[in-house]
Amino acid sequence: MNSLEIKNFGIMGYPVGHSLSPQMYKAAFTAAGFVNYNYIPLQVHAGKLFMAVEAIKGLDFRGVNVTIPHKTTIAKYLDAIDADALVIGAVNTVVNDGGMLTGYNTDVSGFLAALAEANFLPEDCHAVMLGAGGAARAVLWGLCKRRAEFVAIGARNPQKAQALANDFLSYGNVEGFDWLSDEFKEMLQTADILINTTPLGMFPEVDDMPPVELKLLPEGALVYDIIYNPVETKLLRTAKELGYPTLDGLSMLLLQGREAYRLYTGELPDMKIMEKTLKKFLSTK
C-alpha cells in the first residue's frame, strides 16, 4: 500500500475511552511507514449505530474494530459476514472495500494462534471453559474448529451455559454446567485446559477470580485467562502457585489485532512494537 496515502481506521463502541486499540494500531502503522494512517476512537451510542456504519462509507474509513455493545447488532447493517463471525454471532472487525462492508471476527484466530504459540494443540483435548457470554462464543468456536474431544462450559447460570452449548452441538461435544456443581468438579479432573472467558479478575476488580477449585485439575493442565488487564490475574497467579502452566490474555489480544491489521492492509504488523506499546500502556493503569 502507498505509505503516503491517507487512510482512516477506528474502534466503534460505547464507551471506548478505555480501549488500547488506538495506541496499538498507531504504533504498528508508524513502524510500517504508514505515516498518514489515522486510528480514531469512535464513541457510538446504541441508537446511532446505523448512522455510524453509514459514516464509515461516507468518510471513506478503510476499517473499524467493533467492541461492546455493538458486536452482535452491527451485523444487520453490513453487506457481508465472514464464516467465523456468522457462527460466533459477533463481529469485531469491519473492512470497507469501496463501500462494501464485510464483518469478521478475529477473536477466534487470535485465540487459536495464542494456543499454538503456547504449544497447546486443542485437537482431541478435554477443555473446561468458564463463562457463557460473548467472549465465550469465539473461544468455543475455536475449540470446535480444532476438534476438541469435549468442552464443558461452567457458568454461574447453568441455563445460560447449556443454551450456549446447545448453539454449538452440531459442531462438537459440548455441555453446560453450574460451575459450583459436583458434576462440574468432575469435569475439572480430566481437563487438559481451563479457559476463563469471564471478566472476573479484570481491572479494577483485580482481587476477583471465578469460583473454581484449581487443585482438581490434572498435573500439567494449561490454565488460560483471556483477560489482559492485568496481564497476570489472580486466577493465573493462583494456578502458577499450584504448579500449573499458564497463558495470559495479552497474546490473544495481540494476535487478533495482527489478523485485523492483515485484513486492513494485506500485510503483517511488527508484533514486537505492538506488544511493547500495549505493555507500556498497561503498566500505567
- Residues identified as active-site: 71
**Taking each helix axis from N to C terminus, what angle separates 134-145 and 158-167, rounded to the nearest 10 degrees?**
40
User: How open is the CA angle 171-75-88, to the nearest 5 degrees?
Assistant: 20
SS3 state of residue 275:
helix
Neighbours of 246 (CB within 10 A): 18
CB 213 within 8 A of CB 238: no
- Spatial separation of the C-alpha atoms in residues 239 and 248, rounded to whole Å: 12
- Spatial separation of the C-alpha atoms in residues 189 and 183, rounded to whole Å: 10
- Spatial separation of the C-alpha atoms in residues 18 and 204, rounded to whole Å: 12
Question: Residue 108: CB partners within 8 Å, gap ≥ 6?
Answer: 84, 88, 138, 139, 141, 142, 145
* Helix (H) or strand (E) segment spanning residue 8: strand 7-13
SS3 state of residue 94:
strand
